[in-house]
């Protein structure tokens, strides 16, 4: 996932982790690995807030991160909400 305002980084997920990559150097620059306990199924930047990242997971958690500086779980997790239902990935056709 690339976006305007975050020009040299892309985001991938694997299991319960969110990885940030510098796509020009092909190097990992950050990893959020303590916020979710199960597979991350959704990752989106908040419209009109370039540095806010929302993630959702099968564990039913929705996490909001501030990605304006160096990115880590301890300092940049702004809030966590829990739902009664897991966020499963459903493909739109």
d(CA 56, CA 60): 7
Side-by-side strand order, sheet with 40-45: 40-45, 52-57, 61-66, 77-82
Buried b (16+ CB within 10 A) or exposed e, 46-58: eeeeeebbbbbbb
What's the pLDDT score for residue 2? 44
Among the listed residues 43, 76, 34, 89, the one whose alpha carbon sits nearest the alpha carbon of residue 62: 43
What's the pLDDT score for residue 8? 56
pLDDT tens digits, one per residue of 7-63: 556 777 777 888 888 888 888 888 888 888 888 988 988 889 888 989 999 888 999
């Amino acid at each position: 996932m690339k976006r305007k305002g975050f020009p040299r980084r892309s985001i991938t997920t694997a299991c319960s982790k969110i990885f940030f990559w510098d796509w020009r150097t092909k190097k990992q620059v950050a990893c959020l690995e303590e916020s979710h306990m199960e597979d991350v199924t959704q990752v989106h930047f908040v419209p009109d807030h370039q540095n806010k990242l929302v993630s959702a997971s099968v564990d039913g958690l929705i996490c909001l991160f501030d990605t304006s500086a160096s990115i880590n779980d301890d300092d940049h997790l702004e809030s966590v909400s829990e739902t009664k239902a897991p966020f499963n990935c459903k493909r739109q056709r």
